[in-house]
Chain A
Amino acid sequence: MIELTINDKKITVEEGTTILQAALENGIKMPNLCYDKRLKPYGACRLCVVEEEKSPRLLAACSSPVAPGMVVKTDTPKLRKIRQTVLELMLVHHPLDCPVCDKAGECDLQDIAYEYGKPETRFIRHRKEAPPDIRGPLIELTSNRCILCGKCVRICDEYQGRGALGLIGRGFPAVVQPAFGEILECDYCGQCIDICPTGALLSKPYKFKARAWFLEEKDTICPFCGCGCTLTLGIREGRILRSRGKEDNGVSGGNLCGRGRFGFDYIYSENRLKTPMIRRYGELVPASWDEAMSYISDSLKSISENYGPFSIGAIGSHRCTNEDNYMLQKFMRNVIGSNNIDSSAAFGYALVERAFGQKGHHIDLKSPLGKEIIFILESDLSITHPVFGINILRAKREGSKLIIADSRETKLTRHSSQWLRIRPGTGVALLNGIMKIIIDRGLFDKEKVSKVSGFSSLESVLKHYTPDKVSKITGITEEELMEATEIFAKAKSRMLSLSIGISENTKGLDTVLAASNLITLMGDSPDSLQIPAEYSNTSGLYRMGIRPDGSTGSPGNGKTISEMLYEPDTIKALYIMGEDPVVTFPNSIKINETLKTLDLLIVQDIALTETAKLAHIVLPASSWAEKEGTFMNTEGLAQRVYRVVDATGQSLPDWQIIRNLAWTMEKDMGIKTLEDISREVNPLLVSPFVSSEKRVFNPVLYTPGEESDADYPLTMVIRDVLQHSGSMSTRSKSLDLVVSEPLLEINEEDAERLGILDHTYVRVTSRQGTVYLKAKVTDTIPDGTVYVPTHFPHGRVNALTHLSHNGEIPIDIVKVEPVKI
């Protein structure tokens, strides 16, 4: 600890702290425009200059570390004079167009000029004349307003690892621009907008929407991925106008990705449901709540009477709150009397449970920090869980080694210490190969392993995975494999991470098991394996009992999602809440068939989804911003979601609809209000999951997926797009400005061989079906493969996919042909 004096106040701070940090920590205000605690000291704005007794020169507080016995003054006439001059110089070229600038009212430059500047200026000349750059989507760059603090450039490069902006030119004419003055093409995380101290970088969707002082700001939790970041929503006249991150706010500390920042407007999509709809004469027509409730009540009763309660099933939603999901399962179990309840987590997160034998396996978003080695398997965590990705990049910056096994070039591979470019879907072989080398060289924790059962069977399974064979399967060299294994095994601390979910098809239960084996072999705790939950409430939905097991009282296990959706005539009625299986689940053709055989399909959603279009009755639900409740993020942290705007049309929160339905059916669930649910839900949220101490090796063999053949020569990999999350985000106008259709990525060589040009339509055929997509020719993926996301309803990509016999989503093989017009 170091003692120093700032403005006659004696303070003690840690070594390595800068004077500015020391001052701010101790409540001493100091103007600054280029400092941000996430970034390296830059020292450009010169507003934080201070006087130090022993120093002959003024010190820039942001970049001067404290030293014992320093006597610092932060506010003297001399410093005021310097700050005035610096501000005067900044305002020489900053246009005083505050009346038409969205930043006015919350502009750092404005505030500091107001406090430290002087009313008149000696220099009225040279303004930059560049027009605003409005070419790119979502972000607008007005370089006239830029004071070149470099924060945007640095947060993009240093923190986000993207480097989309740079300083071009030098001296007075220097400007912030994308490389070569091209259109800004980036992650569209918008972090640059939040960090800009002036109105140089602004959100386009928010442009001219409201003066800052008219906005009412309310915090809530982001509805997209499992990170659970806190969004600060700006509301005016009952409408959300923008979303931003506030420093140190929420699990992300104020960092947001593009989905959180721009995607909220999906709640204003044109096909939001405003009234219940009932199918009459083949058409869905608006109906009253009374009609709808009676219709459902009658239908369910009659089906239950005719076919028994087990002929009724339900699907819960990772988009809905814990309270909504709890109500749905309670309704199914108590009112209907059926355990036929499941969710899309069965394709993803449930696998983790199956691997670990414990309900839920929470991760720690900060776990990458301080690890000597971070190993990521076939996952683009910067896309699926952007804030987790930021921490991975930060760990790398702070000295961790980063090994990425992935077939595709991603932001993470670009920042990696070692990139193992394995063939898609060969992760199990890679992991087995690594374990084989570790065992052969005795690099594992023998003492701990001796207490784990199944080691001998692991050894015998791994016998087949010699480096030579693994090299042949994965396509990486034996040397690469050896090197990565060595670094991984010899590290003092490790993290192994992968994502798993319904929108990916290269990993399955076996991958999780193999990863878990590796962690156990190294003697690491289960925390070393970090598998983040996919969506905003995937963790919570599971705890609420959205799973077909019979533990909650009713007899026997219920039907799984695979049975309900892929095996016609398993059930007669299906209640789908907040899920769009026709778009997001594999083999949509089969699902279509199954759904059409149902006597009753109830779809309760915020919008008229593709699945809703098949329903007999559609119920309008309120969106995440229109209701109260809780989401549980991937860390197992339950966070309140607030009602920040009024409900759309006659829509109601999901839990209310279910309550009303139970009432209509003259059943009392003992629940009237949200508080009633909370009383039952809260214990479930806080009770820690018991992680089983007993660990076992579950040796797995690498089973190759379908091998490409002459008919279907290409391997199709399903991957997420950074700006989208499931199909919900595709209703966001803002996000659709960036990507609005599923582009089939194809390698340059394959494209040339097949005669496919960039951005032309292709016909893609698998054993399941055919779709037409636009091709994107790229060098970021290996030849012989194509990559495509499933988010977009109109893309119908899931018409190509299938479900394997064990309920997983395997790799598909496809044929791609150019479409001749």
Chain B
Amino acid sequence: MQRLTIEDLKNIKEKHKATFALREGGYRAKVTVHMGTCGITVGAKDVMDALINEVKKNGLKDVTVGSAGCAGLCGREPIVTIEEIGKETIKYCDMNAEKMRKIVVAHLIEGKPVEDYALPHQKDLPFYNLQELRVLQNIWFMDPESLEEYIARDGYQAAAKALTQMTQEEIIKVVKDSGLRGRGGAGFPTGLKWEFASKVQSEVKFMLCNGDEGDPGAFMDRSVMEADPHSVIGGMIIGAKAIGAHQGYIYVRAEYPLAVKRLQIAIKQCYEAGLLGKNIFDSGFDFDLEIYQGAGAFVCGEETALMRSIEGKRGMPRPRPPFPAHKGLRDKPSVLNNVETLAQIPLIILNGAEWYKSIGTEKSTGTKVFCLAGAIKNVGLIEVPMGIPLRTIVYDIGGGMRGKKKFKAVQMGGPSGGCIPESLLGLPVTYEDIVKSGAIMGSGGMVFMDEDNCMVSVAKFFLGFTTDESCGKCVPCRVGTRILLDILTDICEGRGKEGDIETLEDLCKDIIAASLCGLGMTAPNPVLTTIRYFKDEYEAHIKDKWCVAGVCRDLCTFFIDEKLCKGCLACLRACPSKAIVGEKKKPHRIIQELCVHCRSCYDSCKFKSIKVLPAAAREASEAELLQLAGVATPTGV
């Protein structure tokens, strides 16, 4: 491709409007297969092959086929979108090759959409209509490997504007005025960060992008890098101009191969088109950009560790000050922004600070992307205005819990965050409000827990993660998290003792106070919030040796309530140790000596006839069990 001028951007946009937009006389229909990692892992490529073959076989010359990123509802992938002139756009979900072939025939040839496979119309679906798409505005629609398509969607207009019409100060002012705060979790004002770095005198500065997303259950940055890599690059060009950097790095974990590939393609395209390299848009501004693949250490998401990692050293945080704005990568002034933050930048430059601030709250402006994971019905990727109540996300967008289970808690902010219980679902989603709950906004992962989750085990899970991912540098984090994990493990395995909760709380406070970096300072949050909101569960574990949710094997006895059992044989079939006896349509019974407490029966029962009793009940007689099932309540309830 030739070097692009600003004029070219406009021309390409016009040209592609003509090619891609469906219009009379052109293509009649456009079929998009969503090929994010979520789609590809469940067979989007097969669907794509089937689609292409079928279209070819039937000679559908007026149908155009394309790919795009994740369609948001990751739980229902592969998803295929069919747009037709003058008709409602239809999304088909849970696709496979067979269904695809059927749809081509029925929908595209015969004109009868296959209602069975289709999602309800987008405008009727709260999952879609409560969202506010900004960062994700392209990813549902655009081929991530096509620079033209990106340009057709106003791509690089903002970079052109920033490079040719704006001064460093003007760019920083707009970003500051927009109120944009770092989307990586801590929420530091982006404009301020840029201002610090721009004021430091240095010939060499670095503009860095943090794509080292590592929270369990978080995948928004991956989705953006996979589906809209150019918007990140655009944001980096603008940021580089603002701070006066001429070299940039995108730090992506190597476990994101598709994101790496798409970014590589995008960077190559940019160099070919003169959007990176020397004298971009003839503005005299040079900017070179490289990808640095991280080896997958969680702590490398911490800025000083990330910079050390790029230097080729062991990824370990170092004390601040000096702050990276003064001495960052290779001891030069550096700015590190998160993927999502950078993807917001072109929009702010193009539409202005006022537009950006028009949604959200005063201190938390704009939108935030979240990943819904865990026990929620609509597992997926969403973008909502700041200030939206949590309850709306859980029940409207998220569609409530799967299997009509009861909501118990949502973990926000990954392993550094905390669990928010039902009682706090009224909280608006802003940086300031979420902190009040003991959790943090975080980078946007939301892991949902329903009534079947044991909160001690949840805390143990997250501590297991941070213990593994602690770099080992400072003592409180390296040893402290390990001790927390040990105590939680003891509690979950029946060795909990009086005073453990107090020890946990005390140690947590010291770890928070004494740790070197954010990892250690926040690692105890899951423990503290679960103790704060679910202390009864801890006490039941310690005092009654009873895991009410039936998760901790050593702390539960499974018992079938004859009154509720329909004799459906489901549990009997699910039991791996043949511990359940019974006949069809007659109540079943668990032989306690054979039971391995795997919970398969509990999960398989549709009639809630299986009860979880304390571990001590294993020794009890049938009659005693019956009695226990009726009256026993754990301590603290």
Instruction: Find residues 104-124 in chain B having any chain A CB closer than 8 Å to their own CB.
Output: none
Closest to A166 in B: B314
Given known contacts A43-B318, A57-B513, A58-B514, A170 and B479 CB-to-CB distance under 8 angstroms: no
Instruction: Find residues 147-194 in chain A having any chain B CB closer than 8 Å to their own CB.
Output: 147-148, 150, 166-167, 169-174
**Bound: A150/B471 CA distance, A:** 12
Would you call B318 and A89 a contact (CB within 8 A)? no
Would you call A171 and B468 a contact (CB within 8 A)? yes
- A218-255 vs B, CB cutoff 8 Å, 1 = contact: the mask equals 00000000000000000000000000000000000000
Would you call A82 and B513 a contact (CB within 8 A)? yes
Would you call B473 and A85 a contact (CB within 8 A)? no
Instruction: Find residues 17-53 in chain B having any chain A CB closer than 8 Å to their own CB.
Output: none
Closest to B514 in A: A46
Does B254 touch A at the CB level, under 8 Å? no
Closest to A175 in B: B472
Would you call A148 and B516 a contact (CB within 8 A)? no
**Bound: A63/B474 CA distance, A:** 13
- A52-77 vs B, CB cutoff 8 Å, 1 = contact: the mask equals 00000110101111000000000000
Would you call B507 and A85 a contact (CB within 8 A)? yes
A63-B321, A85-B510, A92-B483 given; 18 more Cβ-contact pairs under 8 Å: A42-B318, A44-B474, A44-B516, A45-B475, A58-B514, A60-B319, A81-B510, A82-B510, A82-B514, A86-B510, A123-B483, A148-B478, A167-B472, A171-B482, A172-B470, A174-B471, A174-B472, A174-B478
CB of B177, distance to nearest CB on chain A (Å): 27
**Bound: A150/B475 CA distance, A:** 12
Does A49 touch B at the CB level, under 8 Å? yes
Would you call B319 and A63 a contact (CB within 8 A)? yes
| Chain B residues near A174 (CB-CB < 8 A) | 471-472, 478
| Chain A residues near B503 (CB-CB < 8 A) | 122
Instruction: Find residues 505-554 in chain B having any chain A CB closer than 8 Å to their own CB.
Output: 507, 510, 513-516
Would you call A147 and B470 a contact (CB within 8 A)? no
How large, as a class, is the contact surface on chain A?
35 or more
**Bound: A284/B438 CA distance, A:** 87
Does A803 touch B at the CB level, under 8 Å? no
- A708-720 vs B, CB cutoff 8 Å, 1 = contact: the mask equals 0000000000000
Would you call A89 and B319 a contact (CB within 8 A)? no
| Chain A residues near B474 (CB-CB < 8 A) | 43-46
Does A694 touch B at the CB level, under 8 Å? no
Majority secondary structure of chain B interface residues (helix, strand, loop or mixed): helix
How large, as a class, is the contact surface on chain B?
20 to 34
Instruction: Find residues 474-502 in chain B having any chain A CB closer than 8 Å to their own CB.
Output: 474-476, 478-483, 486
Does B54 touch A at the CB level, under 8 Å? no
Does A93 touch B at the CB level, under 8 Å? yes
Would you call B472 and A86 a contact (CB within 8 A)? no
Which residues of A are in contact with B by a Cβ distance under 8 Å? 40-46, 49, 57-58, 60, 62-65, 81-82, 85-86, 89-90, 92-93, 122-123, 125-126, 147-148, 150, 166-167, 169-174
CB of B203, distance to nearest CB on chain A (Å): 14
Does B469 touch A at the CB level, under 8 Å? yes
Would you call B514 and A170 a contact (CB within 8 A)? no
List 24 A–B pairs whose Cβ atoms lie within 8 Å, in order of A's numbering. Answer: A44-B516, A46-B474, A49-B514, A58-B513, A58-B514, A60-B516, A62-B319, A65-B321, A82-B510, A85-B510, A85-B514, A86-B514, A89-B480, A89-B483, A90-B475, A92-B483, A123-B483, A169-B472, A170-B470, A170-B472, A171-B470, A171-B471, A171-B478, A171-B482
| Chain A residues near B473 (CB-CB < 8 A) | 42-44, 148, 150
Closest to A58 in B: B513
**Bound: A44/B470 CA distance, A:** 12
Selected from B297, B472, B475, B481, the residue in CB contact (under 8 A) with A46 is B475
Selected from A42, A92, A166, A173, the residue in CB contact (under 8 A) with B319 is A42
Closest to A63 in B: B319
**Bound: A58/B482 CA distance, A:** 22
Does B309 touch A at the CB level, under 8 Å? no
Would you call B516 and A46 a contact (CB within 8 A)? yes
Would you call A46 and B319 a contact (CB within 8 A)? no
CB of B346, distance to nearest CB on chain A (Å): 35
| Chain A residues near B319 (CB-CB < 8 A) | 41-43, 60, 62-64
Would you call B471 and A170 a contact (CB within 8 A)? yes
CB of A39, distance to nearest CB on chain B (Å): 12
**Bound: A174/B314 CA distance, A:** 12
| Chain A residues near B318 (CB-CB < 8 A) | 40-43, 63
**Bound: A58/B319 CA distance, A:** 13
**Bound: A608/B289 CA distance, A:** 68
Closest to A157 in B: B313
Given known contacts A43-B474, A60-B319, A166-B314, A171 and B513 CB-to-CB distance under 8 angstroms: no
Would you call B476 and A46 a contact (CB within 8 A)? yes
CB of B315, distance to nearest CB on chain A (Å): 9
**Bound: A48/B473 CA distance, A:** 15
Closest to A93 in B: B479
| Chain B residues near A147 (CB-CB < 8 A) | 475
Would you call A172 and B516 a contact (CB within 8 A)? no
Selected from B320, B471, B476, the residue in CB contact (under 8 A) with A89 is B476
**Bound: A81/B474 CA distance, A:** 17
Does B367 touch A at the CB level, under 8 Å? no
Closest to A92 in B: B479
**Bound: A85/B503 CA distance, A:** 11
| Chain A residues near B481 (CB-CB < 8 A) | 171
Does B223 touch A at the CB level, under 8 Å? no
| Chain A residues near B476 (CB-CB < 8 A) | 46, 85-86, 89
| Chain B residues near A81 (CB-CB < 8 A) | 510
**Bound: A171/B475 CA distance, A:** 10
